[in-house]
Structure 1
Amino acid sequence: MSKKIKLFFIISSVLLLSFSCQKEKEKSNKFVTQDVHNFYDMLSQIENATSLNDTLKILNESYLQKASIGLKDYLEYEKSSNNRDIEQEYLKIIRSFPKYFKSQKPLLSDIENQLDEFDKYFQKIKEVYPDAKFQSTYFSIGFFNTQGQMVYPKTIFMGLEASIRTDKTDYSEFPENYSWLVDDPSTINDLGYLVVHENLHTLQQIKANENSILDQAITEGAAVFLTEHFCGQESLVGIAGIDQDMIDYAGKNRTEIWTEFGTDLKNPENFSKWFWSTNSKYPYSMGYYMGYMICKSFYENQKDKQDAIKKLIVINDPKFIFEHSQFKKFAE
């Protein structure tokens, strides 16, 4: 074999290997968008429906029965945990917000072409934690009940109907109780931060005890802190992080809130005071902020920063993170 031919085969082999590695790298962060296209195909068919039975038949055959694994897992969670009637939930939003979905179609139908930037965040995580194995992320259309979440054990579901917008999004049909959506300025960048936040939960090695304020604060706080660490400070306030009213409240009531938090760690019956309750005297889900501050303090207090990041990624011992932070100083 001549040197030129041999060189050609060597170069070809290198290029082929490089291409194969690149394809494999893309597979490690798979983004699934089929539900979005199925949803808009379903809407176009429903325009010709002549009865409720026709509408429900199209909804089921063209969307629900074609659901991705992620959408199926999410809908099953909503049925079992929140007793949702899935057909009625979708029927409600289809009838109530046709202008909204029409205005969002150019943005949502092109979603796969807007996701390439997200991969850089995952590469940063793998630089620190090479063992990270990311799950598929499912971009779907729900019924305005979540912007995105991890469905246990490791399904990443993104509700695009509630998580991104443009200046052409039409909110004219929404009643006052949807102000949380109408006033939310989230963009495609914020969606990327949320995707990272939820994927970080899949790397955590502990499932938070249902009634443990500490476990929940650390698992959520770590995801918020690490999203900021890998994506930048702009991710901190928004759908992937904490709310500005948490920061403002803590700034005005620092000693009180940290003293009460420390006391409540021994009182799991006060869990709803810190997480997912509109009846708390604190800003909604204030526990995210408390956990974020603890994890940030832990990181700043460690000499080996890379090891600290690894510990915050895997979260196999929330108590260790807590005890090696400067938590007590927050209440001074």
Structure 2
Amino acid sequence: MEFDMNRRSSIGLALVCCLALSAAQAADQPTSLAVLNAPRSPASGIEIQTEDVTRFYKIYDAAGDHPTAEQLQYDYLGPGTEGLHHLMKVRNVTAERIAQAIATRPELYVGARACMAVLPRVRERLDIAFGKLVAVYPESQKPPVTIVIGRGRPLAISGPGDGVQIGLEVICSPIGRFLSPNIDDRFVHVTAHEYIHSQQDPGLSNNEHPTVLERSLLEGAAEFMGEMISGDVAYGAFRESTKGRENEIEARFAADTDKTDLSDWFDNTTADKLGDLGYWVGYRIVKSYYQHAPDKRRAIREIIQMHDPHAFLDKSGWHPGVVLK
């Protein structure tokens, strides 16, 4: 959900700049490392791995909050999970960059240490959400969700076959008013959104030069299905910011669907203004598709497995300003 949009990443780079919430609010009491890693057998069959966080804070605490790059490499990154190693590979997460982030932005790591208290609650809610996904989409792949500590970005990445990696130090930071101010809700809805990306068609989601329509439908499907299984979208602020402007926004979108310049629709949120309207329009197209579908279970399968965006759009019943239930 950091919005530098490597195709494997979701919700946007610019939000990292939007400061709004103290991470300390996330925790009622510190959580013991042993509690986080107690053996579990999730009902959904989808693991939520927290051992990287546990290992990081053992090193962090022992080093007086200032572990060296060498300690981080050999004691944290080296023995890390597959999810952590994937993040290292695709997003240039190194021991040196983590050590630099700890030195320059220590509040991220102090906040994440306190924020560990939310993880048991989040795990329970996500297991329920993932159980709903498996119920409505039995074909679900079940890669793990891995909670990690990184270099202050990205917030989250995901992709077909790669599972989901969430940066605890980022999602628990003051990342902005455009995501849920409640850290439990934020964690659940962002992770649900990202998990849908892990199910999508690789040919479409790995396209390095998507059109406005392609990118919007990928994100819209993740928003819609994430809402279905977790109770809300990741980008809740669009409800107010788009009210009464539906036809105007979507008429502009209809003219831009085949453009590969995404700058009017993605990665354009600032500290003062919510952009990234491609998420919202994509969500509305997908919701229209679902509402018009006579067979809802088949519609869910077609939403997740979508590979022909124009055919999907044509079948959706969407038009600028469409009224949805």
TM-score (norm 1): 0.73
Q: Tell me what 1:327 maps to.
A: 318
Q: Tell me what 1:215 maps to.
A: 214
Q: Tell me what 1:256 maps to.
A: 248
Q: Secondary structure at the match of 1:315?
A: coil
How far apart are the structure 2 equivalents of 1:61 and 1:182? 37
Q: In the TM superposition, what whole-angstrom CA distance separates every residue of 1:68-107 from its partner, at most 9, and x where no partner exists? A: 211111121122xxxx7x3343123322344553454254
Q: Secondary structure at the match of 2:158?
A: strand
Structure 1 segment 238-253 matched on structure 2, within 5 A: 241-244=234-237, 246-253=238-245
How far apart are the structure 2 equivalents of 1:110 and 1:282? 29
- Work out whether residues 152 and 169 of structure 2, in 8 Å CA contact, stay in contact via their aligned partners in 1: yes
Q: Tell me what 1:173 maps to.
A: none
- Which residue type is aligned with residue 46 of structure 1? A
**Which structure shows the bigger proportion of residues in helix conformation?**
1
- Which residue type is aligned with residue 220 of structure 2? G
- Work out whether residues 289 and 316 of structure 2, in 8 Å CA contact, stay in contact via their aligned partners in 1: yes
Q: Secondary structure at the match of 1:73?
A: helix
- Which residue type is aligned with residue 203 of structure 1? Q
Higher RCO (Cα < 8 Å, 6 or more apart): 2
How far apart are the structure 1 equivalents of 2:247 and 2:47? 44
Q: Tell me what 1:16 maps to.
A: none
- Work out whether residues 70 and 155 of structure 1, in 8 Å CA contact, stay in contact via their aligned partners in 2: yes
Q: Secondary structure at the match of 2:316?
A: coil
Q: Tell me what 2:142 maps to.
A: 134
Q: CA deviation at 1:329?
A: 4.4
How far apart are the structure 2 equivalents of 1:214 and 1:40? 42
Q: Secondary structure at the match of 2:166?
A: strand
Q: Secondary structure at the match of 2:235?
A: coil
Does residue 267 of structure 1 match 2:267? no
- Work out whether residues 108 and 152 of structure 2, in 8 Å CA contact, stay in contact via their aligned partners in 1: no
- Work out whether residues 164 and 195 of structure 2, in 8 Å CA contact, stay in contact via their aligned partners in 1: yes
How far apart are the structure 1 equivalents of 2:53 and 2:248? 46
Q: Secondary structure at the match of 1:158?
A: strand
Q: Tell me what 1:77 maps to.
A: 90
Q: Secondary structure at the match of 1:203?
A: coil
Alignment CA distance shift 1:282-1:331 (3 Å):
farther
Structure 1 segment 305-324 matched on structure 2, within 5 A: 305-324=296-315
Q: CA deviation at 1:42?
A: 1.8
Rg larger for: 1
- Structure 1 unaligned segments of length 5 or more: list them: 1-22, 166-177
Q: Secondary structure at the match of 1:324?
A: helix
TM-score (norm 2): 0.75
How far apart are the structure 2 equivalents of 1:123 and 1:297? 24
The total of aligned residue pairs comes to 280
- Structure 2 unaligned segments of length 5 or more: list them: 1-39
Query: What is the alpha-carbon root mean square deviation over aligned residues?
Result: 3.1
Match of 2:190 among 185, 191, 194: 194
Q: Tell me what 2:49 maps to.
A: 32
How far apart are the structure 2 equivalents of 1:27 and 1:307? 21
How far apart are the structure 2 equivalents of 1:259 and 1:320? 19
